[in-house]
Amino acid sequence: MAVKLMIDSVILAAGKGERFRESKDKNEPKLPKSLMPLDSTEENTLSAIISHLRSLPINDIYLVLGYYYEEITKWIQKINDNKKNPIIVNARNSFIAGPFFSFREMRLYQNRIKSLLIFPADTWFSPIFWDCLSQILNNFSELANNNFLFYANLPIDYMYGSFCLELDIVDSFSQDSNDIINSNNSKGLNKSNNSNTSNKSKKLNKLNKSYEFKLKFPIVSRILTRKTFICENPNRKNLPLLLPVVILSKKTVDSLFNNSSPSFSTLLGGIQNLLRQGTIFKAIEITFKKLPQNYQKSSNFLFLDVDTYTDYLNLKKSLE
């Protein structure tokens, strides 16, 4: 039986996407970048995220809107299917001050929301990431009570990812992906019936040909820009690249909501501020056993933040 988590999810889609707008082909429709079609079915980064979240063991899905409120609201009405339909949060013009202030508009639901799994609307995540997240959420009950960042050790020439993690290798609990599926009595796990366990094992064994995730839970000491990490670690061949997704405990969410005069404008800035204050963030690592030969050119390997129109074209081409 899957773990029942006290966790909600939020997708941040309030921004104007200025860099994307400036670099976009003038002949393209005036859509937010999260709604730009990626294939003939007109799937986009936002629809992909919502579709995957609907299949995960979470409670409510919140969608924070701002500059493109009308466009995205109309689009949402077309895809609603009475299955975890997103709850719209109108952040109005708060996006002007920065993404954190749009996120903080969720204070309206502060007494209702639980721990939060947070995504940006304009990032594409590969099936590998979603499968990893599904295995973790379905089998590990500790997630809702802690703060987690996700990262992947990737070669230094990997093109995507702007931030790296500096980690203290202190294992509060360690378990690899095979243990999660095959063990019924491990700490933090619920028992599964034989049929479900067998099916999950077959699925995970197939995926494990290319990757595994490690629940070693090292403590995050700092979040560094990619450039700073390379300067401080000149001999490293791999980078612990931060993925743009985070799990925040209810306590941490309340702390961010109750900050009356934040000195930061982004959610990442808020997390960095919490780290400096001593809030504990743990890390979940996705490790790849064998990289594709074209990993350094592949925009669909793990994740891609669609920041510019060129990013969009690269992603669309890779999905053809």
Strand 211-214 and strand 123-125: the pairing is unpaired
Model pLDDT for residues 104-145, shown as the tens digit of each residue: 999 999 999 989 999 999 999 988 889 889 888 887 777 778
C-alpha 54: how far from its chain's center?
15
Q: Which stretch, 43-57, 211-225, 283-297, has highest mean pLDDT?
A: 43-57
170 or 300: whose pLDDT is higher? 170
Q: 314-320: list long-range contacts, CB under 8 Å, 24+ apart.
A: 315/38, 315/124, 316/36, 316/37, 316/38, 316/39, 319/38, 319/39, 320/39
The mean pLDDT of the chain is: 81
Q: How many CA atoms lie within 13 Å of 2's alpha carbon, on the beta-carbon side?
A: 13
C-alpha span between 193 and 210 (Å, rounded) = 27
Q: Which residue has the higher pLDDT, 293 or 35?
A: 35
How far is 108 from 91, CA to CA, in rounded Å?
11
* Torsion angle in degrees (nearest 10) through CA of 243, 244, 245, 250: 120
pLDDT category at 180 given cuts 50, 70, 90 is: very low
- Which residue's entry shows tokens 């209810």? 250
Closest by CA position to 283, among listed 229, 241, 230, 226: 241
Q: What is the pLDDT of residues 207-253, one digit of tens each?
A: 445 666 666 678 999 999 999 999 999 999 889 999 999 999 999 99
User: How far from each other are the two terminal CA atoms of the chain, in whole angstroms?
Assistant: 37
Mean pLDDT of all residues in 180-202:
35
For the ranges 86-90, 277-281, 283-287, which has the lowest average pLDDT? Answer: 283-287
CA 289 to CA 213: how far, in whole Å?
Answer: 10
Neighbours of 204 (CB within 10 A): 19
Half-sphere exposure of 304 toward its Cβ, with a 13 Å CA cutoff? 31
Q: Report the pLDDT value the prediction gives residue 173, as an integer from 0 to 100.
A: 47
pTM assigned to the model: 0.85
CB 114 within 8 A of CB 6: yes
157 DSSP 8-state letter: T
Helices (H), the chain: 18-23, 45-54, 69-79, 99-103, 127-139, 177-182, 194-207, 226-232, 250-257, 267-276, 309-318
Tell me if residue 310 falls in helix, strand or coil.
Answer: helix
Q: Which two tokens stand for residue 287?
A: 């490790």
> Which of 102-106, 189-193, 279-283 shows the lowest mean pLDDT across its residues?
189-193
pLDDT score for 271: 97
CA distance 64 to 69: 9
Please state, in angstroms and rounded to a whole number, the distance separating the CA atoms of residues 217 and 228.
Answer: 23
CATH number of the domain at 7-318, out of 1.10.246.90, 3.30.565.10, 3.90.550.10, 3.40.50.2000? 3.90.550.10
